Amino acid sequence: MRIFCFSLLVFAAAMASAQTTPTISPNGVVNAASFQNTLAPGSLFTIVGSALSSQTASASSVPFSRSLGGVTVHFTNGSNAVDAPMSYVASGQINAQIPWGLVTPGTSATAQMVVSNNGVNSASTAVTISPFGPGIFGFNAPSGGIYAIAYTYQDSMFAWPANSVAGLTTHPAVPGSLLIAYATGLGAVTPTIADGDVPGSVLTTANTQPQVLIGGISAQVAFAGLTPQYPGVYQLNIVVPTNAPTGSAVPFQIQVGGITSPASFTIAVGN
């Protein structure tokens, strides 16, 4: 009987170990806005997997911590080793920021990433970091598709089809009007900002001006830089082209460094 009990204990311990070993899903490291595998220094990203954390926890302040709920996300790139600041951890998902100095500015490199859950490490996962990885933040439209998070400057209302979302007053953007949109992965900024931190009252601008396409038409970008309130999020001030196509699902894209965000993110444009 003692041998049987001992065997049960060994089996239970093995099962517990298997259940708490963090596992990163195949292609489970993605841009937090576009959900594509385009990552850049300073960009927000999401890890999808299992047993990534033993609890659900969110960052309560900035700068974001490099340890949250007993979890760390560790990157190595040659002799450079650094933990990523995190905003959210749960069993199936981690939201974090790519450290600004992980790769040499202006270059691409493949770093190794390991998630540690209370001292138990995942297998190392290769993550490609490029100078740019544009992604627009979006909202799942009730009728399907994704609305780009973009609102009109004059009244702060989302540039989506009228009455398309319950509880919100929305209306199409008008050609020639100013839009505010939010993105991540637009590359280095001046002045530089610490990992997991925000500019606050300091105005930062993107070193490389992104191009914004509204229905495939290039729009004037009046400003591109980090928001003062949230780490890794860029604000873009855009003038809607006078010749932009109209409709309830006009593609809204960012292009920078030869990389273009998905055309599945849309706004509404009216006359």
Looking at residue 44, its pLDDT comes to 98
pTM listed for this prediction: 0.91
75 is written with which tokens? 């990157």
In the predicted model, what is the mean pLDDT of the chain?
93
Instruction: Give the model confidence (pLDDT) of 129-186 as tens digits.
Output: 999 999 999 999 988 899 999 999 999 999 999 999 999 999 999 999 999 999 999 9
- Compute, in degrees rounded to 10, the torsion defined by CA atoms 221, 143, 138, 69: 170
Looking at residue 19, its pLDDT comes to 53
Looking at residue 5, its pLDDT comes to 42
- Residue-range domains of the chain with CATH: 21-129 (2.60.40.10), 135-269 (no CATH)
Q: CA 225 → CA 97, 137, 207, 208, distances in Å?
A: 16, 15, 9, 10
Looking at residue 219, its pLDDT comes to 98
61-69 long-range contacts (CB < 8 A, ≥24 apart) are 62/196, 62/197, 62/198, 62/230, 62/231, 63/194, 63/195, 63/196, 63/197, 63/198, 63/231, 64/96, 64/97, 64/195, 64/196, 64/197, 64/231, 65/196, 66/195, 66/196
Do 141 and 147 meet the contact criterion of CB atoms below 8 Å apart?
Answer: yes
Looking at residue 144, its pLDDT comes to 87
Residues of the chain with pLDDT under 70: 1-19
